[in-house]
Structure 1
């Protein structure tokens, strides 16, 4: 009987333990796992009808994703229309319910991918599935189609985009005028208008210069571009046409074609809302109560873009197209030694597009046997109405007396011919590179009597005299004859004196050996002293500013190479050239870290040369 009751009690304990474990498991599991739902996506489209040129709204509603990370929305643009992603809108809601004292917390996470679609052509437009991805999860909508119709042009509106009738050249600055004609009786009823043109929505093919403020009031035109809507400064005036009076709003822009070809452009369009009825608000003001869409379209335009002619193109042409270009040349120094770097700054100014403008082939203008040019591509920087190029150059010939006048050519589209200008010559003073050899090292020899006068005259001693003074010893060499002072009772013991005498003999012997070796090979001693000082200069360059450090280590390496006839200088030359590129680079990013790396590399090169020389002299 007791055994049966014991079994029942154990069974109840096991069931309670299992229930407690399951409850604990539910409590520690993430809520997204407890109340997880399958991810799904739904496409919601604004209510029709849909018209050509009028934007419509599309939303992709996604549920079943986690709160983080943020998902990505992808969609393919349908043919005959423009699809633009507007925003990703997250929405998190939490619901808490209590039933019989039990609390349940439910979290719902949804995301909305908002798009805007503008039909360009009438007819059917099919949307392929929109895709939303979060981590490894991805959901898609079902395909969807709409029908867009073209509004009948309203005679009270007109739109004109004026382009040149003749061909233009790529890179040429082309004037473009946008004219919007509004019937005088309609101008107070227009709301929410937008002007669109294929010309404005192709930034990779046509670029427009920033608009300049126009005189004639604060009038603006709302134009849709490939990067969103913009407001262009405009002027307004009244004109008569066919017995009707119009208010003409005009904005002038400057077009720069970026590609060559013949472009058939659809007519620009303007879509607006006309207020058909009004109502009064609480303060007596007029508010629109009903509107209708109105529409106007320009005729199609053809724009022909040609490249500059190949015939008669000079070698100094480098893509400049426009009018009135000038070419200036400056240098950071006019007195140099052969092999030393100097920076040439080329400045190009003119009325034209400067981004594609480059430099002509400098190898044809500066002889390679007299000037060493950089091997990498030379890029310039546009600042205001100029473009500047900084080019590091080395003079290789001490007979060079100037940088000659250099030509620069551009194509003038108004004259349809090439023009050439010249920079001013720059005089140079080029000296042969001076190399410090081991013979130039001043040895540490004793001062002569004639040399002591120099320090007694009150003048600052020269560095050479400082070196020579290191070997002068001011010691009292008189012989002591006083027996009492020499007696051990008044001084040191015999053992101590013997030790001192022995150490003195050893010291004198070592000094004699060192002096003998030094005098036997004086050139090697001088070389080692100079090499030690050179290496110390490289070490000290670590604490100097970047420009001074690079100049110091390159100067030391030049001295090391010049003082050795058996050292291959190609690797050293490449290293010095890389230091000069960092020194004269217009981009200071990471310069300090690169300089420290170059200092360590210079130490390694110096140690290799010093070690190789010592091995060769053993």
Structure 2
């Protein structure tokens, strides 16, 4: 069994953009997703245990095979049960159809049972659940010696809102010297449909990390909090803290969890084992939908509590000079998935040119640096930059804006042509002071003062136009320009060394980053079609979408193979041909 598997980053990035647009519902196309959850990972002999199998994102499915396990009797299979829900997926609001079954098992003896993957026939193909492990004990000992509880969990969140599962576990300090084994039994680990696991902000703490067993087949890092008082007695306490983002409304179920701990040793003739079990009951978390009423057209997808700070690298510039505006959003929100505001689409920034952005996310902070240039000496400040946010505490949409920043813009001398050059995409020069009439005298003379002045003026004006052109077109010898030209060659090299669909997808993301100037992470779940459509707004004619659509299909196929299949790679020649057609279509 693959334990501790992280939810695909590509799906995480898709959530960001889909929250930023409102579109008609359509059937999800990101591929079927299969989960299997035990009702408990540790059962008392004589009780029954159920396995809930759910396949989402499909129109038709059948539970084709429930493997037989010695000592586990199948008492019944209930289902199929069909449910339909809305969720954010692939940059749009989608309808997800889920089909579920409940398999009831009764163990016949004490021991540890491995339940092989169950086979499902899904839309004409086969998919499999993960392998499950069930431990059956004669009695539950350890409730007094062990400790397992959730220190932090909300009872209700909104879709798109991050929430924390803070699990505390441990045992009585009096037996700490004897304990050499700890196993967390979490049936919900990696099997929470409708969620994305995201990185938790790193807490400032001196506690060390240690490893414990996870679901009897893997290892996981937990934080050692040391000695703490539990029920009036000293305990050794460990912490497992994870942050999730809910992607769809409805109840989110966490099955019963257990901590198994104790002593395991081996001698010449036998194995000594003294273990205890302590559990935490199953619970549900309600995920509420984002309200349609009052949702702004420019909703960024941000859900939570957000604050913003802005700064600039300089405040005194010439018209046309670059100013780096750094904006940092921080707080308890899904900032990793937010669509940052675009000043080039705002009327307040109509006297600025936007030459590009850099985007970084770290912990609980999202930082975007905008390369802006004021084009008029009449500009006296950088306007406030607004971000549309849904505040769960208030239950309403709000706007978080930076403070305006005062600047001084100096007009360039003899720059009458600058406004015309900046005001249109045509790279033309208005030379209104050049005299075209020939001189009357036929005597050869050296250049006069007027000619010298005109020549000097021409040089200045030509320099200004060339400067504007470089601003718009970029330095052809810059690192970014070289990376853009060599993107296809690097893609071919990377694909030769990519043995899996996941590695191929990462290579394509780096190719797109080099061609567009965006970070590779921004293309994990990014929409190539939306990108070329955005180019259509900025260019005279819309670029063709065929290449972008083909690229989007290839990326989706790689993601499905990586996360839901055998991770088999695609043909390298097909990927390179797709990349070349995408370049012809605007990339």
TM-score past 0.5 threshold = no
- Structure with greater helix percent: 1
Relative contact order higher in (CA < 8 Å, ≥ 6 apart): 2
Q: What TM-score bracket applies, with the shorter chain setting the length?
A: 0.3 to 0.5
Q: TM-score, structure 2 length as denominator?
A: 0.45
